[in-house]
Structure 1
Amino acid sequence: MGLDRGIHVEISGKDYETLQPFHVSKMLAKIAEEEKVDIIFLGKQAIDDDCNQTGQMTAALLDWPQATFASKIEKNNGDLMVTREIDGGLETINVKLPCVITSDLRLNEPRYATLPNIMKAKKKPIAKKSPADLGVDVSPRQEVLSVEDPPVREAGSIVQDVDELVSKLKAAGVV
């Protein structure tokens, strides 16, 4: 919502099935360089594989500062003051532009599109590109060799008191 144009990178078939966060990061970095952007906003983590990698790798590829898990962003003399949630509370950091920001769910109140705005959005140009157009090789960097269930554990037993527990542990050679 609110954009003048868009870029859609089309990936299908086997390339789509083996697409990894590193490939997405390379494509985003290439588009950022071509478009000469100042800020890249990304979500916190992917919904398909639950990875939290794309934002950090994109920042590394561009050699830009990053602010992850942003819950509040304020402009401050050409820089950005980003508030983020950490284990102990809130942390505020200063980030210079250009930068990569990954958002926390508290960053924004969602806006719901109205019918007139949906109709306007349909008229906006969307450039279609492929990974090859961006010079990005999307061949897999890792391969899943096998997936196996863990071995079935033996059933436990109930003990009546501490003495019985200690004797069972001694019999098993643990104590």
Structure 2
Amino acid sequence: MIITIHVAAARNGVIGKNGTMPWHQSSDLKRFKAETFGKPVIMGRRTYESIGRALPGRLNIVVSRKPDFAAEGVEHATSLEAALDKARATGAQQACVIGGAALYAEAMDIADRLHVTHLEAEIADGDTFLKAIDPTVWKVIEEHRVDPDEKDDYPMRFTVYARK
């Protein structure tokens, strides 16, 4: 099974502020849906809480160390490995890690691909950051720039990295 990470990050590495994404990028949300629809998505509890519901059309697996965690429309796993086991059990070809920072950091060591939306902006006062992408480990295999329109706050680059 292919493991992918899906993340949007500002130029200064910010991925969150006060439990939310501190921007609105409609083009990125459409791309995220297209890339993850029909596939298992794995997220931490706080990411799930920031979304506020299960994402439709996907098996939602929430990683929480709390053994009594339960939420409508999601499966619970106590570790990333347990979440990946649940995804594998479905016969899925791909599992998508969608946040937060701790899961991204852990999954970075085992992921096959990174799908990164690079916002071409610095976000002040962010409190959650993406670990730097190591160019000795990852190579760009696809990239295109998107100029902002009335539905996007900032210009961005959609970049796909593969493990070298």
**Which TM-score bucket, shorter chain as reference?**
0.3 to 0.5
More helix by share: 1
Structure number with greater CO (CA < 8 Å, separation at least 6) is 2
More strand by share: 2
Q: Which has the larger radius of gyration?
A: 1
Output the TM-score relative to the length of structure 1. Answer: 0.31
Output the TM-score relative to the length of structure 2. Answer: 0.32
